[in-house]
Amino acid sequence: MGLVAFYISGAFQKIVSQIDHATPAGADIPVCFESGNHDFRGSWISKKEEVMLARHPAERTGVEWDLKWNFAVRMGEAALVGMDTGEDKPDGHPKWFGLANFEPYRKAQAAWLEKALSRPDIAAAKFKVVFCHIPLFAAPDHPDYPHDGVKIDPHDYAYWSRECHDLWSPILARHGVQLVVCAHKHRYRFDPATAERPWAQIVGGGCEMPKDIAYRFPTVIEGTVENCVLFRGVKVKKGAVVKNCVLMQDTIVEANAQLECVVTDKNVRVTAGKKLSGTESFPVYVQKNHMV
């Protein structure tokens, strides 16, 4: 969802290293890079496409040459489409010193989006999901609404992109897109679809979640999970292995724990290094609010 790097500068080698380490996973699990506003910043920005999964030149000839970060792929019944909202300030903002030129970039993406959603494999998908970094919508009564990225002072930034909304939203509606997934605000929000805007929007929450809304955040998997059912708020920490389990809401599996054929009720914590093993006919059950 963007922001692979805060700035592409001295940290560039670290980014390369991270992607190199991820190569074995990428051999089996598709990886699509979604560009964020900070991914356009830094002294090494010219090298961005060397490591951040730009589209192959053969896929973006002619007028699409600069559309390096868009993607449209079919995975099972879902079509996944990536758009690039660009920077979070107008092109004329003093911070850019006249170097930004995102308005024509966003317009070019609108033409590409029309073509991508018209592809037979994408059009036939049961579920159509669009990903972009900066949100495309804020309701008029929402605190984000005045910060639409069109007119902002030097100390402000876009909370949502009216320009991208106006260019892309009619296309999303025309082709039956059901969901837009975005980020940028570092605070979770869900905007349900309406008659006027037939696609819903999920705004991701970032690394630190306010406690009053933490329960609304999705499951986080840092370890290994195989053949399991995980409810919302479940966390599987690094090194943990979970197989053939059902983990209810807010279950936490700490680092290096091993679970097989286990059923947990809500708000269970499995401590680091713990091993729990049952069988398919006689699984281990952990009661609500227990720590093991």
Radius of gyration of the chain (CA): 21
Measure the CA dihedral 146/152/158/161, to 10°: 70
Question: Alpha-carbon distance 157 to 14, whole Å?
Answer: 27
User: Cα–Cα distances in Å, from 167 out to 72, 83, 103, 106, 252?
Assistant: 18, 12, 10, 8, 42
The residue among 78, 72, 84 whose CA lies nearest residue 114 is 72
SS3 58: helix
Q: Which residues contact 231 (CB under 8 A, 6 or more apart)?
A: 219, 247, 248, 249, 251
- pLDDT of 145 over the 70 cut: yes
- Listed range (129-133, 206-210, 267-271) with the worst mean pLDDT: 206-210
Q: pLDDT value at position 206?
A: 58
pLDDT exceeding 70 applies to what percent of the chain? 84
Q: pLDDT value at position 9?
A: 52
Q: pLDDT value at position 216?
A: 54
36's tokens? 């964020």
Q: pLDDT value at position 105?
A: 95
> Which pLDDT tens digit goes with each residue over 88-109?
999 999 988 898 999 999 999 9
- Listed range (14-23, 120-129, 186-195) with the worst mean pLDDT: 14-23
Beta strands in 76-207 (DSSP E): 78-82, 127-131, 179-182, 189-191, 200-203
Orientation angle between helical segments 162-174 and 102-118, nearest 10 degrees: 10
Whole-number average pLDDT of the chain: 85
- 218 in the Ramachandran plot: left (φ > 0), alpha (ψ -120 to 50) or beta? beta
Residue 199: phi, psi to the nearest 5?
A: -115, 140
SS3 179: strand
> Which pLDDT tens digit goes with each residue over 8-53?
554 444 444 444 444 454 455 667 778 888 888 877 677 777 767 7
> Which pLDDT tens digit goes with each residue over 222-255?
899 998 888 878 999 999 999 999 998 889 999 9
SS3 291: strand
Q: pLDDT value at position 217?
A: 57
Residue pair 157/181 in contact (Cβ under 8 Å)? The answer is no
Residue 289 pLDDT class (50, 70, 90 cuts)? very high
Q: pLDDT value at position 249?
A: 84
Question: Alpha-carbon distance 41 to 154, whole Å?
Answer: 17
